[in-house]
Structure 1
Amino acid sequence: MSRDTIVLDHIGTLEAAALMRGGRLEDLLVDVDAPRPGTIYRAIADRPIKGQGGMFLRTPDGPAFLRQVKGLAPGQALLVQVTGYAEPGKALPVTTKLLFKSRFAIVTPDAPGLNISRSIRDEARRDALLEIAHGEMGGEAMGLILRSSCDGAEAAEIAEDIRAMADLAAAVMADSEGEAEVLTEGDGPHQLAWRDWTAPADVVTSAGGFEQEGVLDALEVLSGAQAPLSAGASMFIEPTRALVAVDVNTGGDATPAAGLKANLSAARELPRQLRLRGLSGQITLDLAPMAKKDRRQFEQALRAAFKGDAVDTALVGWTPLGHFELQRKRDRAPLETALP
C-alpha cells in the first residue's frame, strides 16, 4: 500500500490541510473565521434558560451556551471549552470538561487516572507507556490518556508531549478568576493534521501543493451536490437550514437488486462525503427502494463505515416514511464557507 500524503496549503487566505490516500482525497481541514473547537475561555455566566437546564455565557467572541448547569450564578467566572462550530445565529456550544489534546497525550483535569488507548494491545508496550506516564504525571492530580499514536513512538517524544500538555493545563486551570478572556486558541488545520493524522505519510508543505497533488480538482467535484457511487449510482447531498438531505439514486440499473446495491455503496461513501464537505447536525437519508428485509444489511454497512470516522455520529434509525436519520457532531465548518 502506498503511503498517505499530507498536504499543508491554503484555500485563498484560509489555512487548510488535506489527506490524500491512493490519489483520492480522504480528509480535509479548513480554517474559517469563527472560534475553533478546543478554544478555552474564561467566561462569565450571564442568564439561565428556564426549562432547558442551560445558561448563556459571555465570552470575548460572543455568547456561548452551556448545558446542564448546576449551582452556577449570573456573574460567576468559569472555564469553558468550545466543543464545535455554532449554527448560524446561535451561541457557541461549550463544556466545562476541558481537554488538553496533543499528538500523543490528552490531559484531563477533571478526570484523574492514567489510561492507555485500547488499540495498543501489547502488554510490554502498555507497561512501558505506563512507566512514562507515571514518570511525568506522578505528582499531578489531573488525568492522562495516552493515544494510539504512542505505539511505536519514541519515549522522549511522548514524555515531552505529556509535559507540554500538563504544563498548559496547570497554567489554564490556575487562571480561572477575572473578566471574560480567551485563554487558549483551538488548533488550526496544520496543527490538527500533525496531531491527528499520525499514520506514516509524505508531507507536502510547498506553496501550490493543493494544485500539484490534485486537491483542487477534488474540491471542484465537492462543490456540487452530486457524489458518484459504484455501478453508475449516485447520491445528492444538499444542506438546508434545518438538516442535510441525502438522496440515493440507482442510475441506469433497473435490476431487482439495484436499490440495495446503491444503498450499500452510499453507506460506504457517506462518512467520507460528510467529512470532506464539513456537514453535520441532523442528516436524513432518502434511500433507493429496497425490501424491508434488507434494512439490517444496510444498517450493518453504515455502522461499519462510521466506525472508523473521526467525527462522532449517532445512527438514530428509521422514520415512518422509510428514511434513515443520523445526528452528527458539529466539529467542522461547512466546506461551502471556505470555497471561493
Structure 2
Amino acid sequence: MKGRQIILDHINGREAAALMVDGMLDDVLIDADAPRIGTIYRAIADRPVKGQGGMFLKTPDGTAFLRQVKGLAPGDTLLVQVTGMAEPGKAIPVTQKILFKSRYVIVTPGAPGVNVSRSIRDDDARDALLAIAHAEAGGLPEEARIGLILRSACEGAAEDEIAEDIRTMLDLCEAVVADQEGAAALLSQGDGPHVAAWRDWSEQAEVVTEEGSFGSHGVLDALEMAEGAEVALGGGAYMYVEPTRALVAVDVNTGRDTSPAAGTKANFAVAKALPRALRVRGLGGQIVLDLAPMPKKDRRGFESALRAAFKRDVIETTLVGWTPLGHYELQRKNARAPLSELLK
C-alpha cells in the first residue's frame, strides 16, 4: 500500500504505535516497563562517582545517574529528565538540561530566546510564527529565562493549534520549574507511544485507531520479521543485525551476485537500510559493520550515504569511522528498549 499510515493499537497489553510507509514498517513505539524518556523527577543527590565524573541520584523509580556534575553535593535537590533506556541492572540515565517537547514547540527553561526550525524557509511563515510565539510568551517575566523553539510541524498548521500548544507547554514548564523543593518525586510523566506518534510523526498520514489494527494492517507480520536478524537489501544481498551483550554486529553479504561491483552495491544498500533496521528493532550502543568487500576509493561515498541516511533518523547516532580491520563503527543512543524484550 502506498502512502503513510500511523496505526495506534496495543500489543501484549502495552500501548503501541506503528508508522507504515508504502507498506513497510518504518518505525514502531511500544511502551516499556522502564521510565519513559522525557520523564522529569525531583531527585536527591546520593553519592558521587569520581572516576566517571558523575553522581548517583535517588528518584521514585530507583537510582539514576547524572554525568558531568559540578557543585553538586550529596543531599542536594535537583530537577532531572530521563534521556534514555537503562539496561537491566543499571541506573536510569538523566540530564539537568530539561526540555518540554510537543508537536509544535519545544520549551527550554534556562535557555531564553525564540527560534524557528531552519527547515521552515519562507520568511513570511517564519515571521508569523515568531509573532504567535511572542504573543503567547509575552507575559513571562524576563527572569524566568524560558525559551521556545518552533518545530517544523508548525509549517501549514492552524495558528490557534500552535498557540494552544505553546500555552500548554509553557504552563507545564512553569508548574514543574516551580516545584523544586521537597523529597524525591515524579513531576511529569514522559509521553507514551500514542502521544509520541502525534508529537513526532507530523507528516501527512492516514491515522488508524481501531482495536486490532496491528493485525489487519500488517504490523504484526512486520514485527515478526523484525524479530529475526536477516534484512533483505535487494538484488539478492542481505545483512544480519545481531545484538550481543557488548555491541550490535552487522554482517553484510552479497548473496549470489559475484560481479566486481557486488560488494559496493550491497554496502550502499546497507547505508540506506540500516537506520530503519536499528530503529524498528530498538537497538543502540556500539554498532560494528562487517561490510562486503569493496575498493577503498568507495569508502568516502559510503560514508556520505550513511551520513545522509542517519541525518533523517530520529535517534542520535555518531559515525565513528573505520577500524584497522576494515570494519565501520557507530555509536547510537540507547533511546528504546529492544524489540525482542517488548514482544516476549
Which range, TM-score by smaller chain? over 0.9
List gaps (5 residues or longer) in structure 2. none
Q: Which residue number corresponds to residue 317 of structure 1? A: 321
> Shift of the alpha carbon at 1:223?
1.1
C-alpha contact 1:280 1:328 (8 A) present in aligned 2:
yes
Superposed, 1:85-100 pairs within 5 Å as 85-100=85-100
Superposed, 1:118-157 pairs within 5 Å as 118-140=118-140, 141-157=145-161
C-alpha contact 2:2 2:23 (8 A) present in aligned 1:
no
Q: TM-score, normalised by structure 2?
A: 0.97
Q: Which residue number corresponds to residue 288 of structure 2? A: 284
| Paired AA for residue 250 in structure 1 | T
Q: Which residue number corresponds to residue 241 of structure 1? A: 245
C-alpha contact 1:11 1:338 (8 A) present in aligned 2:
no
> Shift of the alpha carbon at 1:139?
3.1
Q: How many residues align?
A: 340
Q: Which residue number corresponds to residue 269 of structure 1? A: 273
Verify: 1:55 aligned to 2:55, yes or no.
yes
Taking every aligned residue pair, what percent have the same amino acid on both sides? 69
Question: Distance between the aligned counterparts of 1:288 and 1:271, measured in 2?
Answer: 18
Report Cα offsets for 1:284-321 as digits up to 9, x if no partner: 00001111111111111111111111111100000111
Q: Which residue number corresponds to residue 341 of structure 2? A: 337
C-alpha contact 1:3 1:200 (8 A) present in aligned 2:
no
> Shift of the alpha carbon at 1:2?
4.5
C-alpha contact 2:45 2:56 (8 A) present in aligned 1:
yes
Superposed, 1:153-302 pairs within 5 Å as 153-302=157-306
Report Cα offsets for 1:237-295 as digits up to 9, x if no partner: 11011110000011111111111111111110000000000000110000011111111
Question: Distance between the aligned counterparts of 1:2 and 1:181, measured in 2?
Answer: 46
C-alpha contact 2:291 2:327 (8 A) present in aligned 1:
yes
C-alpha contact 1:86 1:93 (8 A) present in aligned 2:
yes
- Helix, strand or coil at the partner of 1:242: coil
Question: Distance between the aligned counterparts of 1:15 and 1:197, measured in 2?
Answer: 16
Question: Distance between the aligned counterparts of 1:115 and 1:67, measured in 2?
Answer: 28
Question: Distance between the aligned counterparts of 1:300 and 1:78, measured in 2?
Answer: 41
| Paired AA for residue 252 in structure 2 | V
| Paired AA for residue 137 in structure 1 | A
Q: TM-score, normalised by structure 1?
A: 0.98
List gaps (5 residues or longer) in structure 1. none
Of residues 304, 307, 313 in structure 2, which corresponds to 1:303? Answer: 307
> Shift of the alpha carbon at 1:53?
1.3
Q: Which residue number corresponds to residue 72 of structure 1? A: 72
- Helix, strand or coil at the partner of 2:132: helix
Question: Distance between the aligned counterparts of 1:11 and 1:317, measured in 2?
Answer: 38
List structure 1 segments (4+ residues) > 3 angstroms apart after TM superposition: none
> Shift of the alpha carbon at 1:42?
0.4
Question: Distance between the aligned counterparts of 1:238 and 1:248, measured in 2?
Answer: 12
- Helix, strand or coil at the partner of 2:265: helix
Cα RMSD, aligned residues only: 1.0
Report Cα offsets for 1:12-71 as digits up to 9, x if no partner: 101110011111111111111110100000000000111221100001111111011111
- Helix, strand or coil at the partner of 2:173: helix
Question: Distance between the aligned counterparts of 2:3 and 2:301, measured in 1?
Answer: 32
Question: Distance between the aligned counterparts of 2:2 and 2:113, measured in 1?
Answer: 38
Question: Distance between the aligned counterparts of 2:55 and 2:131, measured in 1?
Answer: 42
Q: Which residue number corresponds to residue 46 of structure 1? A: 46
> Shift of the alpha carbon at 1:3?
3.5
| Paired AA for residue 49 in structure 1 | V
| Paired AA for residue 297 in structure 1 | G
Per the alignment, do residues 229 and 3 of structure 1 end up closer, same or farther by CA in structure 2, a change over 3 Å counting? closer
Question: Distance between the aligned counterparts of 1:269 and 1:43, measured in 2?
Answer: 40
C-alpha contact 2:249 2:288 (8 A) present in aligned 1:
yes
Superposed, 1:20-35 pairs within 5 Å as 20-35=20-35
